[in-house]
Amino acid sequence: MKKSIAMKLFIGFLIFTLFIVSLSWAMFNLFFENYYLTRQKNSLLEYGSQFDTLYTGDVESVYEYIEKIAHSTGGDITVLSSSGEIRFTTSALQFVRQGNRASERNPRHSSDRSITMLRQSTFEQVLLGGKVIEIVTHPNFNVDFLVYSAMLSNGDILIISTTYAPISASIKSATDFHLFIALISIAVGTIVAYAFSKKFTNPIVELNKITKQMTELNFGTEYPITSDDEIGTLGKSINFLSKKLDLTITKLNSSNQTLK
């Protein structure tokens, strides 16, 4: 079956649209979660750095900033001494009173989320001056947390923990929305491809009709010139040729009549 130019253009544009949407979908699924998680980690690093700048050992002086971090991350903030003593925590599940030593309790059975999230290996790494951001699963609740821990300038330890579930939920919502946009893009792309192919080929179809009429010695139809592009130039040439042939054939018929 012979395919028209319009059909070829339509299929071409449709394939291109599907390719772009598929590429976008693949890139999104491959890289978005890591990109989103990296942004969350960078935010925790910024909060930690700013907290270190403001904190001098007095929690009251940075309480407003602690509230800001808590509201922004939806997580808990805990400040420990280098020996593991809890100086401050925002955890609603905190049963260890200020002044108790976290080291005197088993971290895996502590009711405090931030303390529980701080592994022994991580605690030792922080004591050496490292800044650690890791995803940790709560041993009791089986819930993932994104935990930032770092040594502050005054020797205390800052821990910011936020549940990873909202991050996963955000990623899933973004994925679902991206799928919706992809389907809309395919639908709109199909309509645009069809409309463009028809608009592009309609002048060619019209020129083809005129040339067919010329082969039947019908020179009464002219192509309407609406543009100065290649199609418009071709239309002018066909109109000129039609008039020229009409004039030539008229003259030949007139000469034949005279000879008779």
pLDDT in tens, 81-131: 888 788 888 875 443 333 334 433 333 333 343 444 577 788 888 888 889
pLDDT in tens, 242-251: 888 888 888 8
Q: In one letter, which amino acid is 95?
A: F
Q: Residue 232: in which H helix or E strand, if any?
A: helix 230-259
CB 245 within 8 A of CB 214: yes
Residue 131 phi, psi (nearest 5): -110, 120
pLDDT in tens, 173-206: 777 887 888 888 888 888 888 888 888 788 888 8
Please tell me the distance from the alpha carbon of residue 93 to that of residue 110, in angstroms, as a whole number: 9
